[in-house]
Amino acid sequence: MKHFFLSCLTFLLISPLFGQVNVSTATGRRINYDHESGMAIITGDAVIHSSTATLKADEIQIDTKDKKGEAFGNVKIIQGTTTITGDKAIYYWRSSTGVFYGGEGFYPPWHFFGHTIVMEGRDIYHLESGGITSCDHDPPHYRIKSTRSKVVRNKRATLKNARLLLGDLPSFWSPVYTRSLVPRKYIFRLEPGQSSRDGITNRTIWGYPFTENSFTKVKWDYLQYTGNGVGLEHRYFNPRIRGNIDSYLVRDTNPDPVPDSRRFTILWDHFQKITSRLSMNARLDVKSDQSFGNEFSSAGNRIRVENSERGIFSEGGFRYQFPRATLQVQADRRDRFDSTVSSGNFISKLTLPRVTFNTIPLKWKFFPFYTSFSGNWTNETLTRSDPKQALRYQRSADLGVQIKKDFRIRKKMTVTPRAGYSQAWQDHDTAKPTSEGDIYNGRYNAGYDIRRRFGRILDVTVGQNYVARMEQNRFNDDLKADDHGVETNAVNLSFVSRIGRSSRLSMRSGYDLRSAPRNLPTKYSHTSERILSPSFDIQWQVKPRINVFFRETYSLFDSDNNKPVRTPANTSGEIQFGEYASTTFFSQGFSYTKGASGADSLLHLTNKLKFFLTSKWHLDIFLSYRAVGPNKINYKKALPIEKTIHLVRDLHCWVLRATFSDRTGIREASFHIDLKTDLKTQPKLYREDKDNPFYTYRDVIDENSDPFNSDEAKFSNEDSDIDETKDQGQ
């Protein structure tokens, strides 16, 4: 009530005069006002609010004639996002100017201070015996002091007779120091380091967002033994267009097995949504040699895909999404560089075009089974390794249909029969250069799955898959072939048990029912040769942050020695403490694959460790190595494969990062330091979609998939709940 009364009293007594100095309200514990002199004295938690600023102090004296105020003790003035404190201040409301003594100012993220701070308007400050810093620690870890300074908010700071102090230690002097205070959009980074191949290195990166939806990086690398490398990376994204261009060029003078040459790479990925249903994709991948990406790790995409040969790979196409189907038209070209056969590049393979069509499972009104169709037509050349070879085109097509239906026999039992047919066509036999006749090959498949749930945690699935091939250009089974025309005929069995949401146990195996091939009549003479490799898989959440993974596949028959065996073919596992994305994490993994008879036993081990050494030091270590021994677990030596250490030091105002890497043939070390005020997150140009932003059609269409793949049919329903099973497509 006292503050409220004094505020109202002040406003009623002096508002006619304060209107001249833009004062709207004033509060304090005691107020004295002299009408004749126009002086007002506010003491005890004095606060004056105006349209331009808020002034606080232990005592404020207001002169309405000179339109100024003098503040004493714990002075603070707030102008927008800027706050200035001091021991004493003189402030002019009308011009928003003033003088602070023993003052310190702050506007995020900068602090400035001075024996005297002269305010020249709202955004300009002159400092006497002062300086600036971005450290909010008291005392600051670093500061730049000067005799005289000028600070223009959000524009520039200029300091004369500037001295850099790290703590209280003078470290650098300059007659004049100036820096921009504009919030930085660009990044600039120097990464000095050392490499066993390149010697002393210094990687320079400058990046700038030229538009709201793009970010461009220019790279220049100094490599002591190899030469200078330059690169350009440009990423762009908007709701309909996204892509990435990455290029790098180096004149490689390194005296290694690769001769002196100009080496380069150009990578371009592009995706564009033309309409709500029609999209386009394109890709270009050019490399001077196969090993480029391994030796120049700073160039390329996040996941590098090497060409199969030295040359150019390009592709592009369109995709149209119907309500229940997808149509894809794609073309690609491979050019090859081979100085032994040609002085220039030549076409190695050309696909023009490849048309693919797929549907989702369709349900018909008078047909109870779900039906899906797939097909493709391809016009491409045979791969050639010499430009003198003719570009010989081959046309081929595939058309297939699959039907299936889930029948619930009981509450916890489901039977799923399925069948399908596919027809493949080629315009000639590629094995016969003079062949011109059409070639047709048909395949049909049939199978079923019977799934039964026992209790709430155990699912048992029994199924069979049968795939048969027809004679070429005929609709008869290919009974005269070595395999009697039967490509697959197996019964499969799986057990899946779940304990809670994050623990799971599964076992799988099967039995091959095919007859022995004509060219190997002794095959399947041992029953164990018919049993498909059993596998055992565990995913166990011991505690919320402790997980154990284990998988083992057994071999029951040694085809080299033609005898039954009982030995693990592959064993792998891992134990994890913590979450991988967190700052504290540990994992120990291993993988063992049985080698050839008489060969050394190899055990691959991996370690991942992330933790805080102290509250300021963070360590991230990855180790990969292999143990070698004569047999089983009798290992005599361990050979490193890769060692990588990331070290981060939080210096409050700076962040220091160092990386040490040692992998086969290459040893590298680098570090860089960033001022936190300069750390600006680049625009998030890519959405966190599960689908790849490029070639999204490949999540729907797998060019290498087989419509008769027994593995797909074998466990297609293992993760669904029978109690909640519904027909597909509903």
Q: What is the pLDDT of residues 630-661, one digit of tens each?
A: 766 667 777 888 889 989 888 777 788 888 88
Helix then strand then coil, in percent of the chain rounded to 5, is 5, 60, 35
Which band of pLDDT confidence, cut at 50, 70 and 90, is reported for residue 573? Answer: very high
Q: In this predicted structure, what is the pLDDT of residue 289? A: 66
Q: Please write the tens of the pLDDT for every residue from 21-42.
A: 444 688 888 888 888 787 888 8
Q: What Cα–Cα distance (Å) separates residue 175 from each residue in 146, 165, 181?
A: 9, 15, 20
Virtual torsion, Cα 512, 513, 519, 524, nearest 10 deg:
60
Q: What is the mean pLDDT of the chain?
A: 80
* Count of CA atoms in the C-beta half-sphere (13 A) of 652: 12
Number of Cβ within a 10 Å radius of residue 83: 14
Which band of pLDDT confidence, cut at 50, 70 and 90, is reported for residue 343? Answer: low
Mean pLDDT of 317-346: 84
In the predicted structure, residue 244 carries a pLDDT above the cut 80: yes
User: What kind and span of H or E run contains 6?
Assistant: helix 2-18
Distance of CA 480 to the CA centre of its chain: 52
**Alpha-carbon gap, residue 247 to 118, rounded angstroms:** 51
Mean pLDDT of 118-128: 87
Number of Cβ within a 10 Å radius of residue 488: 21
Among 684, 611, 600, smallest CA distance to 639 is for 600
Q: Please write the tens of the pLDDT for every residue from 246-296.
A: 888 888 777 665 555 778 888 899 999 999 999 999 998 887 765 665 555
Q: Please write the tens of the pLDDT for every residue from 391-426.
A: 888 899 999 999 999 999 888 999 999 999 999 998
Q: How far apart are the first and last CA of the chain?
A: 69
Contacts by 217-223, CB closer than 8 A, 24 or more apart: 217/187, 219/248, 219/298, 219/299, 221/250, 221/298, 223/195, 223/198, 223/199, 223/250, 223/254
Among 38, 40, 56, 58, smallest CA distance to 48 is for 56
Structure-block tokens of residue 435: 């062949």
Among 658, 671, 661, 666, smallest CA distance to 225 is for 666
| Beta strand residue intervals within 211-324, DSSP E | 214-223, 227-237, 241-252, 261-273, 278-287, 311-321
In the predicted structure, residue 572 carries a pLDDT above the cut 90: yes
Q: Please write the tens of the pLDDT for every residue from 194-231.
A: 888 788 888 888 888 888 889 999 999 888 888 888 99
In the predicted structure, residue 308 carries a pLDDT above the cut 50: no
Mean pLDDT of 231-254: 88
User: Radius of gyration (Cα) for the chain, nearest Å?
Assistant: 37
**Alpha-carbon gap, residue 445 to 405, rounded angstroms:** 15
Pairing verdict, β 367-381 and 311-321: unpaired
Strand pairing partners for 103? Answer: 114
In the predicted structure, residue 9 carries a pLDDT above the cut 70: no
668-673-678 Cα angle (round to 5) = 135
Contacts by 625-634, CB closer than 8 A, 24 or more apart: 626/602, 627/602, 627/603, 628/600, 628/601, 628/602, 629/600, 629/601, 629/603, 630/600, 630/601, 631/601, 632/601, 633/603, 634/601
Mean pLDDT of 549-570: 86
Q: Which is more confidently placed, 729 or 70?
A: 70
Among 35, 81, 30, smallest CA distance to 54 is for 81
Q: In this predicted structure, what is the pLDDT of residue 63? A: 83
**Alpha-carbon gap, residue 248 to 663, rounded angstroms:** 22
Using the structure block, give the residue that is written with the tokens 């689908």.
691
**Alpha-carbon gap, residue 311 to 702, rounded angstroms:** 25
Virtual torsion, Cα 246, 252, 258, 264, nearest 10 deg:
20
Structure-block tokens of residue 204: 């320079």
Q: In this predicted structure, what is the pLDDT of residue 495? A: 95
Show the DSSP H helices in 101-176 as ranges. none
Q: Please write the tens of the pLDDT for every residue from 485-517.
A: 999 999 999 999 988 778 999 999 999 999 999
**Alpha-carbon gap, residue 619 to 608, rounded angstroms:** 11
In the predicted structure, residue 313 carries a pLDDT above the cut 90: no
Which band of pLDDT confidence, cut at 50, 70 and 90, is reported for residue 597? Answer: low
Among 20, 78, 84, 86, smallest CA distance to 53 is for 78
Q: What is the DSSP letter of 342?
A: -
Q: In this predicted structure, what is the pLDDT of residue 339? A: 65
Q: Which residues of 178-199 are buried (b: 16+ CB within 10 A; e: fewer)?
A: eeebeeeeebeeebebebebbe
What residue type is assigned to position 541 of the chain? Q
In the predicted structure, residue 68 carries a pLDDT above the cut 50: yes
* Of 141-155, 513-527, 681-695, the least confident: 681-695
**Alpha-carbon gap, residue 262 to 389, rounded angstroms:** 28
CB 717 within 8 A of CB 413: no
In the predicted structure, residue 729 carries a pLDDT above the cut 70: no
Among 303, 308, 266, smallest CA distance to 283 is for 266
Structure-block tokens of residue 421: 């047919």
